Amino acid sequence: MIRLYKSLFFISLLLSAGNSYAQEALFHSAFSHQDSLRGSNGMGRIYWDVLKYTITVTPDFETKTITGINKIDFIDSGSTVIQIDLQEPMFIDSVKNNKSHYTFNREGNVYWVTLRSNKTNRFQPYKRSLTFFFHGKPKEAVNPPWDGGWIWKKDIHGNPWMSVACQGLGASIWYPCKDIQSDEPNNGAVLRIIVPDSLIGIGNGKLKEKKAFGKGKMLYTWQVVSPINNYNIVPYIGKYVHFMDNYKGLNGPLSMDYWVLNDHLEKAKKQFADAPRMMKAFEYWFGPYPFYADGYKLVEAPHLGMEHQSATAYGNKFKNGYLGRDLSGSGWGLKWDFIIVHESGHEWFANNITTNDIADMWVHEGFTNYSEVLFTEYYYGKEAGNDYAIGLRKNIQNDVPIIAPYGVNKEGSGDMYYKGANMIHLIRQVISDDDKFRNILIGLNKKFFHKTVNTADIEDYINKESGKDFSKVFDQYLRTVKIPQLEYAFQNNQLKYRYANTVEGFTLPIKITIGKTNQPVWITPTKDWQIIQINGEETISIDRNFYVNLQKVEE
């Protein structure tokens, strides 16, 4: 997902005064018991593992309400009470298994469902299911996808146009589930959409069934067989038309389906040519598309866009750039459709590799923001990609750390996009071997295929495969708001230099140019002054691909 953030000035001032522990304490002071229930893997979650969701939903456009059923298949490891998330003002009506009814009680946005009277230490995990019947008027999105919820709009002809955008806010705004990223349904999900027969219901994965449901209704059944993030399971409902293509990818034929409103068919056929271009570039950089079994779809949505797995939401008005703008200011971002490239990049980073906690969302957004750089480089050359990456820096706020507190459903700074991408770009420079860098990206998607991770998993993999220790680089750019500063002074044909504004132990190698020569020099500054001999003009510049500030000091 792409977001535009306002600077959190007051919090930034407070955080600048303390260390990471003080930051955690400050953040946690603002969190509630409900935040902890939502964001942590507590006792109501750890003893059961979701296998599959089978969701049936019937929206009522006039009343902006929905009714539904969610059958959850899971492995029961002996829970006495399980936590089911469903946000107010939605309601669970009943919980059943075959003909048995289960008791439950509500605590804010959480339902506690009693499975058994007591827990035994001698318990053999087994597969079982519960069916949840629910209804209500879900939170309506005011400004989707940033202010998410259920979307109730009309197309230009007055036909209902409905969908959901709920990243961060959570899938539990509309259906009961285990609303934490660390437990994706192992066997995927089924989404059954009941709509008026004048409309079409579209879901993730592949269409398994379309049938009349009586009284002017149609039932569309879609199935995803791969693990999927809860917030990615969404319906699209409207007056859609369909066209498709088959892409010859690294893992064979891949179905690429496109669903748009009736009036936009010709525009879409032209604009969506960027989809196979995206697929070619990203399979080169990241390895095979992770969801061949579920296909690839672009679906026109009543909002800008979202990375809904195998059903990417598209609302970029069939323009290049970000609604016609280049977020980098370099000019290169106007040569391709931002939403097609960015949101599809999330299929590798967010949907294939998913973080356990949204505090680590930089893994999703930093790598996906960098996918824009790699797409630009693939088609327009390496310097074009560099231009794009460097141009993104003007969007960096340096307000609060990119990694947020864990266990409270809290995202860090919006800098996870542009600063995250520039950190990756910097790491690439230090690796100084594009074949190795590309193999690291491919290796990440292979090692963590359809898995959930923590930041530490990504850091450890990059350190190991690069043969370099980037631990302090990750600390600097992800866990502080400080940008490294290379301080320097000239004296008696010598250049003195050191790092300032850095974490303890920061020793990033950096490429500089001294004087008018075009020959770069690699140096490895520390917090202590170092000296090198120079001849000629007393000027210095840092290679532009390093996100490091330069400051002359008097000695």
pLDDT of residue 19: 41
Output the pLDDT for position 118. 76
- Superfamily grouping for domain 9-32+346-479: Neutral Protease Domain 2 (1.10.390.10)
Q: Are the CB atoms for 507 and 468 separated by under 8 Å?
A: no
Q: What is the mean pLDDT of residues 3-26?
A: 39
What integer best gives the mean pLDDT of the chain?
A: 94
464 φ/ψ angles, rounded to the nearest 5 degrees: -65, -50
- Provide the pLDDT confidence category of residue 555 given band limits of 50, 70 and 90: low
E strand segments, 77-204 = 81-85, 91-97, 100-101, 104-107, 110-114, 126-136, 149-154, 160-165, 189-196, 200-202
Average pLDDT over residues 130-137: 98
Q: For the chain, what percent of residues have pLDDT higher than 70? A: 94
At residue 22, does pLDDT exceed 90? Answer: no
* Straight-line distance from the first to the last Cα atom of the chain, in angstroms, rounded to the nearest whole number: 47
Q: Is 16 a residue whose pLDDT tops 50?
A: no
Residue 372 has pLDDT above 60, yes or no: yes
Q: Tell me the average pLDDT across 4-15.
A: 35
Please state, in angstroms and as integers, the Cα–Cα distance from residue 26 to each residue in 15, 18, 23, 255, 400, following that order: 8, 10, 5, 48, 12
Helices (H) and strands (E) in the chain, counts: 12, 29
**Distance from the Cα of residue 382 to its chain's centroid:** 25
Structure tokens at 191: 């989404």
User: Nearest 5 degrees, angle CA 96-CA 228-CA 369?
Assistant: 150
C-alpha neighbours within 13 Å on the C-beta side of residue 260: 20
How do beta strands 451-453 and 353-355 pair? parallel
Contacts 24+ apart (CB under 8 A), 151-158: 151/301, 151/302, 151/303, 152/61, 152/64, 153/302, 155/238, 155/239, 155/261, 155/263, 156/263, 157/239, 157/263
Fold match between domain 44-316 and domain 485-552: yes
Class assignment of domain 485-552?
Answer: mainly beta
pLDDT band at 119 (very low <50, low <70, confident <90, very high): low
Concatenated DSSP letters of 185-227:
-TT-EEEEEEEETTSEEE-SSEEEEEEEEETTEEEEEEEE-S-
Q: Evaluate if residue 120 carries a pLDDT over 80.
A: no
Question: Under CATH, to which class is 44-316 assigned?
Answer: mainly beta
pLDDT, residue 190, reads 98
Q: Are 35 and 136 contacting, i.e. CB atoms less than 8 angstroms apart?
A: no
Q: Are 499 and 506 in contact (CB under 8 A)?
A: yes
Question: Locate tokens 């074949």: which residue?
Answer: 435
**Total count of residues recorded for the chain:** 555
| Mean pLDDT within 361-387 | 98
pLDDT of 222-265, one tens digit each?
A: 999 999 999 999 999 999 999 999 999 999 999 999 999 999 99
Question: Does residue 504 carry a pLDDT above 50?
Answer: yes
For range 435-446, the mean pLDDT: 98
The mean per-residue pLDDT over the stretch 366-392 comes to 98
What is the predicted pLDDT for the residue at 25? 45
Give the per-residue pLDDT at 117.
82
- Whether the pLDDT of residue 506 is over 80: the answer is yes
Q: What are phi and psi of 364, to 5 degrees?
A: -70, -55
- pLDDT of 9 higher than 70: no
Helix (H) or strand (E) holding 344: helix 338-345
Instruction: For 273-303, write each residue's pLDDT tens digit.
Output: 999 999 999 999 999 999 999 999 999 999 9
> What percent of the chain has pLDDT above 90?
89
For residue 3, the model assigns a pLDDT of 52
Q: What is the pLDDT of residue 214?
A: 87
Closest Cα partner for 403 from 356, 441, 368, 445? 356
Based on the number of CB atoms within 10 Å of its own CB, is 157 exposed (0-12), middle (13-18) or buried (19 or more)?
Answer: exposed
Among 54, 52, 56, smallest CA distance to 219 is for: 56
Per-residue pLDDT reduced to its tens digit, 59-78: 999 999 999 999 999 999 99
State residue 537's pLDDT score. 80
Q: Are 460 and 524 in contact (CB under 8 A)?
A: no
Report residue 269: phi and psi, to 5°: -60, -35
Give the whole-angstrom CA distance, residue 439 versus residue 278: 19
Q: Please choose, from the candidates 265, 351, 255, 348, the residue with its C-alpha nearest in 3D space to the C-alpha of residue 300.
A: 265
Among the listed residues 292, 286, 279, the one whose alpha carbon sits nearest the alpha carbon of residue 205: 292
Cβ atoms of 515 and 487 within 8 Å: the answer is no
pLDDT (tens digit, 9 = 90+) per residue, 449-495? 999 999 999 999 999 999 999 999 999 999 999 999 999 999 888 99
In the chain, what are the domain boundaries?
9-32+346-479, 44-316, 485-552
Lowest average pLDDT, out of 177-191, 301-315, 434-448, 524-538, goes to: 524-538
Q: Is the pLDDT of residue 349 over 70?
A: yes
